[in-house]
Chain A
């Protein structure tokens, strides 16, 4: 079983549109939406939810005003500026619990926080594990880890060949949580100066965590000079570049209809994504041992 995580560094390069199409092309797979902050894959795959689990994680401090003597020690020691006027701002509280331990009158307790939900669903394309982190919550990395764990369990139970995950943008906590230990990172970039800058950083993260990567240039024809630069950069880093995907309004049209673009059109984009999936499979065969 191989786990492919689709990442990009920069947001909006087309991760979810491409994962939606890979869902339609790949056989014997489970899908995972690891962008728990702003999950969108369900809009293409239209899941019917089979299991809906609460995600309890992290704690938030709470001051009992009847016990509090307003000594101000907690306020002084909190490194996250989460306490002012003897009240805790739950959004700023990082749940360290330092205040609980130092309060001289034991006026502070930690309360468990319902910080999201995790769903296991059926789709036309196979099982999907997805989640929704509560608004303004922490611990997105832990929720991502649970999504991956569930996807792995399903893949093992049903003896599936692939886990295909749609990752979050950026390079921080949820990205690291999506990436570590995966078989292959498929990096979707675009030929803009920002896209190139962000690709360099996400490639750095992949090599830091020892995950092999394959680059796909999406909307490559927006700036062919930049596309050449991306290819050159990747080759200088020893990273393979897979099939390029052109810009086409068909992608947005398919999205508006809520279907993967390969099922909406037989045009240039769909053909390119089919080649991309072949390239992914070849790379997994040739280079990836795990």
Chain B
């Protein structure tokens, strides 16, 4: 089962929830935690995993053989990203704009374009206290997170529980990271910002046809907007975490909630039971 932990708004507690959920389940299940927030990966700070392997993430960019090129301009004409241009007897490439679709090399009538890798990030994998771990790191200055995210997702194959920590927002990196999940937990806080961004996140997961539930973090401040919204939209609130200075301080020191306050483990195990029920019920109804 693949469970994504997403939020819309940043800083609502995705990392806290993803790491504590994984740590609470690792003794009873086979667990893989994937940190898909490749722009700002943080799970490793709380888990301190043993990294056992890594691999560069590359985008395939064009390399033009000047001896073969006739400057016909076909490559520039087919490139949707303006990453290759022909000016007189020069071909210019703009590697940062290239998405690596491969159209230019395939369609070059002279077979003058080959592809070469350009590194945009790295994936690392390892283990932590009996569970598997992987994360991706987008190189500083690089714009495109999705290729790194795709590679992180490939680090989980096989059975067990896969927990994905998703980047904030609602656009392409989020979609890439969440796609293929069985369930999406949406972590929010009871404020107008939390509500606004929760509603956007709900729209995103509904578009992807993934069932979702809410974790309400820092409960006790703010207003009732999120609770009212969830009731109206029929979205279950599966776990509530109060605003508590002890929890905030643990996080600030880089200590996972269930390691600092082990009594929270049972709440996260119960959260998983709820998720399992929702996913199983949905699978049954799809079969029917």
Contacts and interface: CB of A to CB of B under 8 A. Distances in A.
B12 interface: yes
A80 B40 CA distance: 23
Nearest to B178: A136
Contacts of A9: 39-40
Contacts of A137: 171-172
Contacts of A92: 179
A10 B10 contact: yes
Given A37-B169, A38-B196, A222 B191 contact: no
Nearest to B9: A38
Contact of B144 (A11, A101, A172): A172
Contacts of A283: none
Interface stretch (B230-238, B250-258, B261-269): B250-258
Interface stretch (A120-128, A202-210, A237-245, A260-268): A202-210
A156 B11 CA distance: 35
A169 B10 contact: yes
Given A12-B12, A169-B40, A201-B140, 4 more contacts: A37-B200, A102-B106, A252-B191, A256-B192
A13 interface: yes
B170 A79 contact: no
B249 interface: yes
Nearest to B37: A170
A34 to B, nearest CB: 12
Interface stretch (A63-71, A188-196, A269-277): A188-196
Interface in B200-215: 200, 203-204, 207-208
Interface of B: 7-12, 15, 39-40, 42, 45-46, 60, 78, 80-81, 99-103, 106-107, 138, 140-145, 167-175, 179, 191-193, 196-197, 200, 203-204, 207-208, 221-223, 245, 248-249, 251-254
A137 B175 CA distance: 9
A253 B191 CA distance: 9
Contacts of A194: 15, 40, 42, 45, 251, 254
Contacts of A10: 10-11, 40, 42
Contact of A197 (B45, B138, B200): B45
Contacts of A102: 106-107
Contacts of B138: 171-172
Dominant secondary structure at the B interface: loop
A102 B101 CA distance: 13
Contacts of B208: 91, 136
A176 B39 CA distance: 12
B40 A91 contact: no
Nearest to A132: B200
Question: Top 6 A-B pairs ranked by shortest CB distance?
Answer: A11-B10, A12-B11, A193-B254, A96-B101, A170-B39, A37-B169
A140 to B, nearest CB: 5
B234 to A, nearest CB: 19
Contacts of B103: 96-98, 101
A246 interface: no
A105 interface: no
13 contacts: A10-B42, A11-B9, A38-B196, A38-B197, A80-B101, A101-B107, A135-B207, A170-B145, A172-B39, A193-B253, A197-B40, A222-B249, A222-B252
Contacts of B196: 38, 40, 43
Nearest to A193: B254
Contacts of B106: 77, 98, 102
Interface of A: 8-13, 16, 37-38, 40, 43, 59, 77, 79-80, 91-92, 94-98, 101-102, 133, 135-138, 140-141, 168-176, 190-194, 197-198, 201, 204-205, 208-209, 222-223, 226, 249, 252-253, 255-256, 258
Contact of B140 (A37, A169, A171, A193): A171
A98 B42 CA distance: 36
- Name, among A9, A91, A192, the residue most crowded by chain B CB atoms within 10 Å (CB to CB): A192
Nearest to B43: A194
Contacts of A252: 191, 221-222
A9 B41 CA distance: 10
- Name, among B81, B99, B106, B140, the residue most crowded by chain A CB atoms within 10 Å (CB to CB): B140
A136 B78 contact: no
- Name, among B100, B138, B171, B251, the residue most crowded by chain A CB atoms within 10 Å (CB to CB): B171
A171 B193 contact: no
A192 B257 CA distance: 14
A38 B8 CA distance: 6
A213 to B, nearest CB: 14
Given A169-B40, A194-B45, A208 B140 contact: yes
Given A12-B9, A96-B99, A96-B101, A136 B170 contact: yes
A138 B169 CA distance: 12
A174 B200 CA distance: 17
- Name, among B8, B170, B200, the residue most crowded by chain A CB atoms within 10 Å (CB to CB): B170
Contacts of B100: 79
A204 B107 contact: no
Given A38-B168, A59-B80, A133-B170, A13 B252 contact: no
A95 B10 contact: no
